[in-house]
């Protein structure tokens, strides 16, 4: 496989290279791609030095797969150009997620929707991925009616400037602000831009994306997304009302048996998911599983995952692996 990593110099791009190496992704030729200002930069992968190339050079090289994490504007402009030469693009931005002609994929849940004709495939929002990993098996058995989500999202979800802001504030250094307010010792109920309905884009991603991934819009979702002063890992408090009643032991068993999900739920030992333990891991961790005693057929859960890995880089690469394993990607047009 000739593989291009587009946005290789960015935060998620760096994690993609780490995950590609860890998972021994089948690469015969690697193209590290970034904007013009990063062109010519030297980067290492598996002990070998690579020179970063520009987008047009990458298109001309006709890769088999392009893993994009370069922002929505770049994806909108360049993903079709890669697709035109027969390359399959897996895009980590929000550009194509709600496009009805593009698939939105978490491989463990709906990888089976992919075909060889899918040349631009959307990777869901980081918060959505960990949410649907836990919800999908429960929805299959109990059928969801309503989901209420509150997120506790790390600064790494905003990017390198936000990580630097938190580090500077922790050290008492005045520096560039990624947020309107200090993030250290604070919680900011503002992830992404506000929309006319009073919700943020991040909150509306959580409302819309799960329905597309699960192929079902019969349930309702509402969300509040909050930025907190953790450097990595997103957490979610999730309340789910089902049409059918459930047994807590069965819920735990379903989650334990779900590939990619790890249940951490032992109150006797104070065992529950936390971002500090999800760091650098690819699984989604679920705990604090309990019945909502205020209304029937309703469950509370706490869901945590590394937002740069399963929430971004790892899921993107897993889509690539699924395409290869199922012979859905091949040599690009020469």
184 annotated binding-site participant? no
290 annotated binding-site participant? no
Closest CA to 123 of 203, 212, 61, 49: 212
10 annotated binding-site participant? yes
37: tokens are 């200002």
Task: For 206-252, give the DSSP string.
Answer: HHHHHHHHHT--SSEEEEEEEE-S-SS-EEEEEEEEESS---HHHHH
Residue with tokens 């005045």, as numbered in its chain? 174
CB 19 within 8 A of CB 11: no
191 is catalytic: no
23 annotated binding-site participant? no
234 is catalytic: yes
153 annotated binding-site participant? yes
Candidate list 87, 126, 139, 191, residue with the active-site label: 126
Residues 319 and 114: their CA atoms lie apart, in Å, by 9
175 annotated binding-site participant? no
Q: Which residues pair with 103 in a beta bridge?
A: 121
> Please, how many CA atoms are within 13 Å of residue 318, restricted to the half-sphere of its CB?
22
97 annotated binding-site participant? yes
218 annotated binding-site participant? no
Pairing of strands 120-122, 144-153: unpaired
Candidate list 87, 139, 191, 234, residue with the active-site label: 234
CB 207 within 8 A of CB 221: yes
235 annotated binding-site participant? no
CB neighbour list of residue 36: distance below 8 Å, 6 or more residues apart = 54
309 annotated binding-site participant? no
38 annotated binding-site participant? yes
List binding-site positions for substrate: 153, 227
List binding-site positions: 9-12, 37-38, 97, 153, 156-157, 227, 307
Which residues are designated catalytic? Answer: 126, 234
List binding-site positions for NADP(+): 9-12, 37-38, 156-157, 307
């Amino acid at each position: 496989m000739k593989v291009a990593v587009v946005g290789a110099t960015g935060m998620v791009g760096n994690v993609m290279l780490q995950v590609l190496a860890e998972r021994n992704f089948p690469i015969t030729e690697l193209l590290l791609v970034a904007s013009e200002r990063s062109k010519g930069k030297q980067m290492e992968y598996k002990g070998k030095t690579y020179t970063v190339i520009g987008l047009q050079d990458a298109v001309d090289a006709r890769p088999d797969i392009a893993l994009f994490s370069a922002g929505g504007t770049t994806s909108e402009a360049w993903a079709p150009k890669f697709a035109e030469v027969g390359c399959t693009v897996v895009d980590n931005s929000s550009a194509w997620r709600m496009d009805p002609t593009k698939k939105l994929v978490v491989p463990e849940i709906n990888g089976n929707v992919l075909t060889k004709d899918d040349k631009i495939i959307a990777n869901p929002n980081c918060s959505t991925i960990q949410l649907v990993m836990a919800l999908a098996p429960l929805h299959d058995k109990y059928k969801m009616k309503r989901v209420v989500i509150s997120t506790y999202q790390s600064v790494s979800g905003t990017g390198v400037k936000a990580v630097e802001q938190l580090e500077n504030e922790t050290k008492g250094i005045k520096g560039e602000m990624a947020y309107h307010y200090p993030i250290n010792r604070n919680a900011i109920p503002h992830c992404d831009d506000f929309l006319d309905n009073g919700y943020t884009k991040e909150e509306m991603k959580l409302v819309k994306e799960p329905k597309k991934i699960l192929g079902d819009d019969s349930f309702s979702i509402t969300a509040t997304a909050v930025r907190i002063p953790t450097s990595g890992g997103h957490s979610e408090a999730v309340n789910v009302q089902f049409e059918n009643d459930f047994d807590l032991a069965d819920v735990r068993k379903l989650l334990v048996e779900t590939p990619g999900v790890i249940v951490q739920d032992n109150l006797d030992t104070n065992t529950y998911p936390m971002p500090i333990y999800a760091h650098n891991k690819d699984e989604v961790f679920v705990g604090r599983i309990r019945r909502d005693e205020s209304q029937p057929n309703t469950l509370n859960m706490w869901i945590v995952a590394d937002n740069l890995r399963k929430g971004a880089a790892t899921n993107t690469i897993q889509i690539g692996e699924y395409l290869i394993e199922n012979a859905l990607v091949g040599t690009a047009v020469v």
